[in-house]
Chains A and B, each alone.
Chain A
Amino acid sequence: MKRRLASVTAVALASALALAACSSGTGTTASSVAASTDGKGKTITLWLAGGDTPDALRTYLKTEFHKETKGTLVIQQQDWSDIVTKLTTALPDKNNTPDVTEMGNTQSPTFTNVGAFLDISDMYKELGGSNLLQSFVAAGKVDGKNYTLPYYFGSRYVFYRKDVWAKAGITSVPTTLDQFNTDVAMIASKNPDNIQDFSGFYLGGQDWRDGISWIFANGGDIAKQEGGKWVATLDSAATQKGLKQLQAIYQNASDAPNDAKDSNQYIYINDDDSIAGATASDAATPVSLAAATIMAPGWAHWSIGTKGTDAKGAVTRTWDDATYGVFPLPGNDGKPAPVFAGGSNIGISAKSKNPGLAKTLLKIMFGKTYQEMLGKNGLGPANSKYVSSLGSDEFATALTDSASNSKLTPAAPGWASVESSSTLEEFFSKIKDSTDLEALAKEYDAKLNPLLNGK
């Protein structure tokens, strides 16, 4: 699941807003079509991205849809890394378009701005209205009309090894960002299990989606709007303060390579990857445990824990409270540090031949039962009324706490080009070895400015 945010960007977003400048939202005219329940003999298709929606939820959607409309719902799963390609080709094709599709939240503007989706403003209230996660709603809105709505959300928080932290002499979770920075540097220097290339806090050199929190927490940002233009602000005082802390982490706490990305961080805090029988202190057989702490999207917790296999022989991970713990990255103001929000939006294709039936499907998906099913499976429900369904375990708490202070990317017209050109990845990869952070920031501000404004 952790692939989501990586792929959302890695695979690239078309220059949505840039294009909007010359096209402006041209979704179909405010849909007069009402939700329909006459689906006898008809089939509609739903595209889901990746395997994040569990099978039980898919089955529920199919049976519920059939119950309400007598129609058939076909669910196709598309890989996260290919979904942009597939949406680009299939959505404009009325004979092969999915009727309803999921997409990454930052991919949504790309497609809503070129008129790929049906205007569903008339359903907005019915589907949850102001209870829906507003930053995601905004990502699906053009000229005041709703084209896509949130499907579920996730957030980033810290995963740590209680055992390693304790061996390094730290027994309480840090409550400020400064404390966190000091703690992870100390754990790295103590390296209690004497592991080669050990990280107190593993932060990939190109992992700007996690690293950005240090900029946010110090009041900085990537860019701001000034007199109708977007200006990159990597060299602002606040951003620089965050960058300095980040550089200290890269130099003293993290041993991740400069080109490591926002993916798979969790493999560095699992330690059962060792040869059976070997112990952590046995220097002759190093184990794969390489980090005491990582930061990752919440769904990474499915990939962390003691390894086992299920009845089919597939790998499972069993979380162990004695060994692992989570907490939201603390800020310096008593609140959690701002993090990057992750998740999905969902919309009806403008070319759908059965918009009425598609609307019925949306109603099912935004209904209480389905929203609560999402929550029970650890996916943040779109409708805040049902967030309690996430439960009250540590993951749910960390998720809701960190999400309470989450941010999306700047709404600059050329944001998609920033992501597809990997400019921020490149900038972050150079922080560790930079001798002049300000000059580096200025250099990349100059690269970002034309991209942000769509040239």
Chain B
Amino acid sequence: MSGLDTRAASRRATRPATVILAIIGIAVALVWIFPVYWMVNSAFLPNVVLQSQTPTFVPLGGSFTNFATVIGGGTFLPALGMSLAIAVIVVACCLLFAFLAALAISRFRFRGRKGFVLAILFIQMLPAEGLFIAQYKLMASVNLLNTVLGVSIIYIAAVVPFTIWMLRGFVAGIPAELEEAAMVDGLSRTQAFLRITFPLLAPGLVASGVYAFLQSWNEFTVALVVLQDNSAETLPLWLRGFIQASQSHAIDWGQVMAASTLVALPVIIFFLFVQGRMTSGLVSGAVKG
């Protein structure tokens, strides 16, 4: 239960408690990062060392050869472009659509509201494994097979219900009076929104944004069905193709892990970007404010 202490409380807590918490924190971090570390470690090692029964824990004498080979294959960059385009569209549309819908359901009482709330809950309960024929037919009928837009539409629809729920909690948590008070103080409505509401919403937007980004970045099954053209591959399709190609000549784990690392890298960059921008700065400000 010591983990329940607040930052404010732990500031005053005795030194040993802080140290113990820090140790627990580091231990948890290590457990979660190990598979990731293993991926990156392996990416630097030649296959010969990897196949040994005694694991090599530190890539001493490792090299970037695997990365160079993977990128040199020529199909990584187009797939990266495809995935980035989809992710940008999905994150932007999702946050906008969900924010508007969250405003509607948290600040208004209207006919059909309950139905809408139920619908977005239930829509997520349908297993996707049986849907691929319908999704294909849908995209074929509107001529959006093998396009960024087509796959984005399906992703947005898949992510938006959750995002609405997430943001709804945050919007509901911000008293409308705050904004009104700010306007009384002479701010315009836009200013009031940007200075008061938006910062309080930021953590929710970041969490939802990261979620939307990751979902679109990692999605595999829908992409497999609606992106059948080799020139319209997203990164997960590319990675899977890479693994299968590698398997046909005695799988080269080092290269597969290098490929996986390359797929994960943009996500990390994206997060570090939003993390630095929002979580630390605005959030702490908002909480204290």
Contact = CB atoms under 8 A, between A and B. Distances in A.
A adjacent to B, CB under 8 Å: yes
A81 B54 contact: no
Contacts of B241: 77, 79
A307 B230 CA distance: 30
Contacts of B230: 76-77
Contact of A78 (B52, B228, B251): B228
B22 interface: no
Interface stretch (B43-51, B95-103, B168-176): B43-51
* A interface bracket (residues with beta carbon within 8 Å of B): 35 or more
Contacts of B190: none
Contact of B51 (A51, A264, A288): A288
A313 B133 CA distance: 40
A61 to B, nearest CB: 16
A50 B140 contact: no
Given A273-B48, A274-B52, A276-B48, A313 B68 contact: yes
Interface stretch (B4-12, B116-124, B242-250): B242-250
Given A82-B224, A85-B224, A89-B136, A273 B51 contact: yes
A40 interface: no
A130 interface: no
A427 B286 CA distance: 63
A314 B252 contact: yes
A50 B246 CA distance: 11
B48 A307 contact: yes
B145 interface: yes
B225 A85 contact: yes
B132 interface: yes
Looking at B132, B143, B225, the one whose CB has the most chain A CB atoms below 10 A away is B225
B280 interface: no
A50 B247 CA distance: 11
B248 A50 contact: yes
B145 A316 contact: no
A333 interface: no
B229 interface: yes
Main secondary structure of the interface of B (DSSP, over half): helix
Nearest to A94: B140
A170 interface: no
Looking at A93, A307, A315, the one whose CB has the most chain B CB atoms below 10 A away is A315
Nearest to A98: B228
Contact of B47 (A2, A52, A307): A307
Contacts of B69: 312-314
Interface residues of B, number: 35
A95 interface: yes
Contacts of B132: 85, 89
Contact of A96 (B65, B140, B252): B140
Interface in A293-343: 302-303, 307, 312-317
A88 interface: yes
A253 to B, nearest CB: 22
B244 A80 contact: yes
Contacts of A85: 132, 224-225
A7 to B, nearest CB: 9
Contacts of A3: 244, 247-248
A272 interface: yes
Looking at B145, B224, B228, B229, the one whose CB has the most chain A CB atoms below 10 A away is B228
Interface in A78-124: 78-82, 85-86, 88-90, 93, 95-96
A285 interface: yes
A286 B55 CA distance: 12
Nearest to A2: B248
A10 to B, nearest CB: 13
A210 B140 CA distance: 41
Interface in A121-173: none
A154 B225 CA distance: 29
A276 B56 CA distance: 13
A240 interface: no
Contact of B250 (A86, A89, A267): A267
A1 interface: yes
A86 B230 CA distance: 13
A312 B54 CA distance: 28
Interface in B61-103: 65-66, 68-69, 72
Nearest to B70: A313
A93 B101 CA distance: 36
A22 interface: no
Contacts of A315: 47, 249-250, 252
Contacts of A314: 69, 249, 252, 255
A305 B16 CA distance: 59
B225 A89 contact: yes
A266 B228 CA distance: 31
A354 interface: no
A88 B132 CA distance: 10
Nearest to B231: A76
A275 B244 contact: no
B63 to A, nearest CB: 10
Looking at B47, B52, B69, B145, the one whose CB has the most chain A CB atoms below 10 A away is B52
A277 to B, nearest CB: 11
Contacts of B14: none
Nearest to B46: A309
B250 A270 contact: yes
Given A79-B244, A315-B47, A90 B249 contact: no
Given A3-B244, A95-B140, A288-B52, A317 B250 contact: yes
Given A96-B228, A286-B53, A314-B252, 18 more contacts: A50-B248, A51-B248, A82-B224, A85-B225, A89-B132, A89-B136, A95-B140, A96-B145, A264-B251, A266-B250, A272-B48, A273-B48, A274-B52, A288-B51, A302-B249, A313-B68, A314-B69, A315-B250
20 contacts: A50-B248, A51-B248, A77-B241, A78-B228, A81-B244, A86-B228, A89-B132, A89-B228, A93-B137, A96-B145, A96-B228, A273-B48, A276-B49, A288-B53, A303-B249, A307-B48, A314-B255, A315-B47, A315-B252, A317-B249
What 4 pairs between A and B have smallest CB-CB spacing?
A: A273-B51, A89-B136, A313-B69, A303-B250
Interface of B: 47-49, 51-54, 65-66, 68-69, 72, 132-133, 136-137, 140, 143, 145, 224-225, 228-230, 240-241, 244-245, 247-252, 255
